[in-house]
Amino acid sequence: MNGLIAGGAGSGKSAYALKAAEAKPGNKMFIATATVDDADMKERIIRHQAERNQDWRLVEQPQYLANVLEQFGSADVLLIDCLTLLLSNWLCSERYDQWEREKKQFLRALNDTEAEVLLVTNEVGMGVVPANQLSRRFVDQSGWLHQDIAAVADKVTMIMFGLPCCLKGKGGS
């Protein structure tokens, strides 16, 4: 497993991850977890699509990333954007009771894949404790997911104000 790239909303993490992935040799696969639920999200998706060149193939998978990872190998560079959207999809799903099982399968697939993998995620745990149960569950679950992935990642980079801060490994992502 290669790298985890985290940051706040609008921090530049997706642009940083895209540039890092494009610098790597191999077939480029963008794995999107976003779903179009409103006009704002549609606009965000269109903006991110415009940032990628034609070398990228798109895989849209809002929940089952373990299955996706199993399809690729050493000739592939996978950019997964974003883990907090993945978690939101699970939290708002009728299948939330399956999240822990899927998370374990995903972590196993990250360890097993020979593909280069860059994971983008939002850091959401640096603020106050949220007032409602769903928000607290989201913050807790995202923190635990990030810890689990950071433990197996070769590199962990935090993007702040467009600047990469290397937390683990050499040179960021």
What is the CATH classification number for the domain harbouring 122?
3.40.50.300
49 CB-near residues (< 8 Å, 6+ apart): 58
Q: Report the pLDDT value the prediction gives residue 48, as an integer from 0 to 100.
A: 86
48 is catalytic: yes
* pLDDT tens-digit map of 9-49: 899 999 999 999 999 999 999 999 998 888 988 998 898 88
Cα separations in angstroms, 50 against 28, 75, 125, 157, 161: 15, 24, 30, 24, 22
Domain interval for residue 125: 3-168
Total of domains in the chain: 1
Q: pTM value?
A: 0.93
What's the mean pLDDT in 51-62? 93
Per-residue pLDDT at 62 exceeds 70: yes
Phi, psi of 17 (to 5 degrees): -65, -40
Express each pLDDT in 94-114 by its tens digit.
Answer: 999 999 999 999 999 999 999
The answer to whether residue 172 scores a pLDDT higher than 60 is: no
Alpha carbons 139 and 133: distance in angstroms, whole number = 10
Q: What is the pLDDT of residue 129?
A: 85
Asked, for residue 173, whether it belongs to a domain, the answer is no
Whether 152 is covered by a domain: the verdict is yes
Catalytic residue among 24, 48, 108, 168: 48
